[in-house]
Amino acid sequence: MDDTKYGTRNKRGDWKPTEKIQFAPVLDWPFRPVRFAKWLISMDGFFLPWNTFFALSSVLVWWYLTPGTETTQTLAPGWIVYLLARNAVIVLVFYGLWHLRLYTQRAQGNSFKYDGKWPSTDNSAFLFKRQHTDNLIRTFGSAVPIWTAFEVGMLWASGNGYLPTISWAEHPIYLLALLLLTPFWADFHFYLVHRMIHWPPLYKHVHSVHHNNVNPGPFSGLAMHTVEHLLYFSSALIFLIVPASPLHFITQLLLKALGPAQTHSGFDKVVIGESSTLDTHSYAHYLHHKYFECNYADALIPLDKWFGTFHDGTPEKQEAMEQRLAARAAKWNQK
């Protein structure tokens, strides 16, 4: 497929989309119901394909692959190790399929690839100087165990009555509405945590590990410092105070665990067949990896717009970002 129909490629081989990044029409004013409805139900909208995929995956994981309450009421090695293995397999399959198609097979070559280069194989910033090796170690050695620890703790607390757990039979409408809000809470929490770990001391010792992936691939999504993993997955702790069912914190954790594969894929679109593509919605976050000081959240809630850190990929926003950083640097130099 000819990606130049959708964007431009510079002399270095870097590709960028022609279309500007736009926020979801959730908080538009005046409210535009037709645009909102199209966004809800269209392909590459709110429900399809990604949120539907994550929601269905969560239901299947909760229903078929999660031990029952009678088991999780007692902390025992058997079910804890099972959850650790289950989560490792889920990550291996999901992230592995992204990596296999786009980076091992290179099934679509450089089409729709933001950075013309491939991940580094000789860079001292990474463990063993290899980006992919570093990403795998941090994903399976830290991210998966911490995700599992949060899940184990929440399941145990729910089973023993320490969480405000309610049933679907009694509150189906409330619980469904709460499930639909999962991506919004994940986005809001990510913005707060993300801004915090860009504070220079935390950035230097914690978040810089993730930002070594200037040219990210799927497994870069969970390649973080252990402290960042703790902060990242802490979004599930909202259910310590918000009444919900176990499905809700399982969905929150699964969304946080699997979503980064898509947003760190390094490609704007995945080519399917000869004429179809699947949008990864990853350009906003790719720009964050490229420029560091913009697009701290996804484009679901206009937090970056409100706080002046939005970059839509245009030269005008690039200039505005550079002016903002220059003004901040000048302010710090005066101290």
Predicted confidence at residue 325, as pLDDT, reads 82
Q: Tell me the CA distances in angstroms from 313 to 18, 22, 209, 261, one per residue in order.
A: 9, 10, 25, 21
Over the stretch 166-212, which tens digit does the pLDDT of each residue have? 999 999 999 999 999 999 999 999 999 999 999 999 999 999 999 99
**DSSP bridge pairs for 215:** none
Over the stretch 128-173, which tens digit does the pLDDT of each residue have? 999 999 999 999 999 999 999 999 999 999 999 999 999 999 999 9
pLDDT category of residue 335 using cuts at 50, 70 and 90: low
Of the spans 2-6, 89-93, 315-319, which averages the highest pLDDT?
89-93
Question: How confident is the model over 307-327, as a mean pLDDT?
Answer: 89
CA-to-CA distance for 15 and 135, rounded, in angstroms? 24
Question: What pTM, to 2 d.p., does this model score?
Answer: 0.95
**Distance from CA of residue 72 to its chain's centroid?**
28
Contact yes or no for 231/244 (Cβ under 8 A): no
Closest CA to 193 of 242, 154, 240, 230: 230
Q: At what angle do helices 77-99 and 144-159 cross, to 10 degrees?
A: 140
Name the residue range of residue 173's domain.
3-333
Number of domains in the chain: 1
